[in-house]
Amino acid sequence: MPQPKTRWDIFCTVVDNFGDIGVTWRLARQLVAEHALPVRLWVDDSHAFERICPEIDVDLAQQWQQGVEVRHWPSEWVHAEAADVVIAAFACQLPANYMDSMAARETPPLWLNLDYLSAEDWVTGCHGLPSVKYKTVQKFFFFPGFKPGTGGLLRERGLLERRRQFQQDRSAQRQFLQGLGIDPAPDAQLISLFAYENTGLASWLDVLAGDATPTHLLVPEGRILGDVARWLGVETLTVGAIQARQTLTVQVLPFVRQDQYDHLLWCCDFNAVRGEDSFVRAQWAGRPMLWHIYQQDDDIHLDKLDAFLALYTKGLPPEAAQAMNGLWRAWNAGQPIGEHWLAARKHWPPLQENAEAWCLEQALQADLATALVQFYVNWI
C-alpha cells in the first residue's frame, strides 16, 4: 500500500446532469475514508455539486467536506502544486499551468484518465494502457468495468452488508421513507423513476394504473417530470406533489444526498435509473432494474446497452432474458413499454434472483477505488 502521504488530485468538469460530479465525489470520499489518502477534488460547477451534497458552500474556493478538500476549479487557473496521483475524470482537459507543474516535479506523478463505464469487450484490452504524454508525464487509461481485467465499479466497504441489513429491517425502511414524506399503502409495489425525457413512459403508467397490484411511483425531480405531468394531465409537478390515478400513486421527491438515494433504491421493488452512477447503485441494490442510458452521437450508446444486457441477462432463463431485453431496448428507443413491462412481470422471481446474483458476482471484483490505489502501487 502507498505511503499515507501520497496526495491525490481529482479533476471534474460538469458536462451536464450529475454523473460527472456524482462519480468523482463518491470516489474522493472513498479514497479518504477507506485509504486514508489526502484528496483534493477540483470541480468547475459547484451548483451541480450542491444538489447531491447540500453542505457545499458554492461561494467558497476551498472547503473540506467529509475529509475531502473541495476546490473550485476556476476558469482563470491559480497555481497549485501537482499531486502524486492526478485523475482527470472523463477525459477532462487539465489546466495548462497544472500540467506544467506536473512536469516540473522531481518524480512525475501518476496521471490517469478515469473513463466512462462500459461493458463492451474492448474495455478489458484498453484498461491500463498508456495514453498521451506531456513532457515527462505519461497518462494512462483507467476503465471501470464489469469484467476481470477492468478497473471494477465504485463500491464502498461494507456496502452490501449494510444494504442487506436495511432490506431485512422493515421498520428502518418505513422510518426512512417517512422521513421523505413517503407513506405507501402496505400492499403497494414501490418503484423509483430517475430517467431522461422518455416518450415511452405513458404506456408504462397506463399499465401500472390499470394493474390489480397498487404501485407507488417515486420520481425524484428532474428531466422525466414533464412526461409524468403530461400523462397526469397537470400543468406542472413540484416536489411533494402526490397524484393518484386508479391503482397508481405518483409522488415527486426532492433530490436527496447520495447515501439517501441509495436507501431509496434499497427500499424499492424496482428501480429505473440512468447515466452511470445511479445505474451502478441500482445494481448494488440487488433489485430488478431498468436503465436509461445516456444518449451519444451516432447511437453508439446502443452498443453499450447491448453489451451490458448480454452480461446482465446471461444467467436468466431464455424467456426472462428476452423479456428484459425487450423492456430495456424499448425504453431506450422511447417506444411504448407497457406490454414489455407485463412480459417482464411474468418472470419476476428469476429477475429478482438474477439481480441479487449479478450484484454478488460484481462484488467479487476489487472495487474501483482499491483498484486505483493498487494501480498506483504497481506503477511505483
Residues with catalytic roles: 20, 276
Q: Which is nearer to ligand TRH, 157 or 257 (CB)?
A: 257
Calpha distance 270→192 (Å, rounded):
7
Q: 189-193 and 270-274: which strand pairing?
A: parallel
Calpha distance 175→46 (Å, rounded):
31
Q: 62-65 and 68-72: which strand pairing?
A: antiparallel
Q: Which is nearer to ligand TRH, 213 or 296 (CB)?
A: 296
Provide the minimum distance between the beta carbon of 81 and ligand TRH in the complex, in angstroms, as a whole number.
29
Residue 297 DSSP code: G
Provide the minimum distance between the beta carbon of 53 and ligand TRH in the complex, in angstroms, as a whole number.
8
Calpha distance 24→268 (Å, rounded):
26
Provide the minimum distance between the beta carbon of 16 and ligand TRH in the complex, in angstroms, as a whole number.
5
Residues that bind ligand TRH (CB under 6 A): 15-20, 22, 52, 194, 220, 255-258, 261, 274-279, 294
Q: Which is nearer to ligand TRH, 279 or 376 (CB)?
A: 279
Provide the minimum distance between the beta carbon of 22 and ligand TRH in the complex, in angstroms, as a whole number.
2
C-alpha cell at 199: 416518450
CA-to-CA dists, residue 300 to 23, 123, 324, angstroms: 22, 15, 20
C-alpha triplet 227, 231, 236: angle, nearest 5°: 65
Provide the minimum distance between the beta carbon of 264 and ligand TRH in the complex, in angstroms, as a whole number.
7
In which order are the strands placed within the sheet that holds 215-220? 242-245, 248-253, 215-220, 189-193, 270-274, 289-292
C-alpha cell at 379: 506503477
Of 13, 9, 196, which is closest to residue 90 (Cα–Cα)?
13
Q: Which is nearer to ligand TRH, 10 or 316 (CB)?
A: 10
Neighbours of 240 (CB within 10 A): 12
In which order are the strands placed within the sheet that holds 8-12? 62-65, 68-72, 39-43, 8-12, 85-89, 110-114, 137-142, 130-134
Neighbours of 338 (CB within 10 A): 17
Q: Which is nearer to ligand TRH, 152 or 350 (CB)?
A: 152
Q: Which is nearer to ligand TRH, 109 or 220 (CB)?
A: 220
Provide the minimum distance between the beta carbon of 120 and ligand TRH in the complex, in angstroms, as a whole number.
14
Q: Which is nearer to ligand TRH, 18 or 142 (CB)?
A: 18
Calpha distance 320→313 (Å, rounded):
8
Calpha distance 248→30 (Å, rounded):
38
Provide the minimum distance between the beta carbon of 240 and ligand TRH in the complex, in angstroms, as a whole number.
14
The position carrying cell 478497473 is 151
